[in-house]
Structure 1
């Protein structure tokens, strides 16, 4: 059964940066903000909100610990693309938005046939975002 939605917690001081990075990097596949019920929680997606970003206050040390956890323990999230071109567009847009290359667009046969992906770490928390296309090249 597919995942319906996912919640990602980030330090409050990095919240808007992570949201802006995702909106900029994934805009070309229709990714947008759908719902912000409170200033520190936002629902993002391409047809409906399925990725919820929540800010964690940093005053009690939890936000700082969360930032270390996100970057040091390889938090990873993958988005599906329909074409190899969309994967390449993500990589280009994410790097322009300040992301750090963590794997240029290309085939990854070790993960399966037609596994074409790119990986970029966001500049705020170091979260490893991936866009993958499993279709054959056009």
Structure 2
């Protein structure tokens, strides 16, 4: 069998696949304090908890993981950082109640003045001092991701 024939008969759904998401750890420095951007979850699971802005890869819209994280930041916070860098990848069967999950975590340092206007237009998004965020009960494993 050649590769073309193999691929024509390949059934992606024959294999269990993990949930694939991205999360953004955005930092700003304001009043001599490091802050992290958090969003309150509007839907289950973890509804009402604060967490990092992020979400699922959309194969129809996103050509790359970076496209995904930038899209999710725009949708959830209105912020588009001028530069964003992949920080880490975390995956296991405990991080999300919906199933085995992999997240690709991105980070950026952004000036508060550059995004303050956008942040103020979104009800459930806030810059939280990092030391305060480290003591909050965040959604999923986001506590580990901000460290």
TM-based fold match above 0.5 = no
The alignment's TM-score, normalised by the length of structure 2, stands at 0.24
The alignment's TM-score, normalised by the length of structure 1, stands at 0.25
Rg comparison, structure with higher value: 2
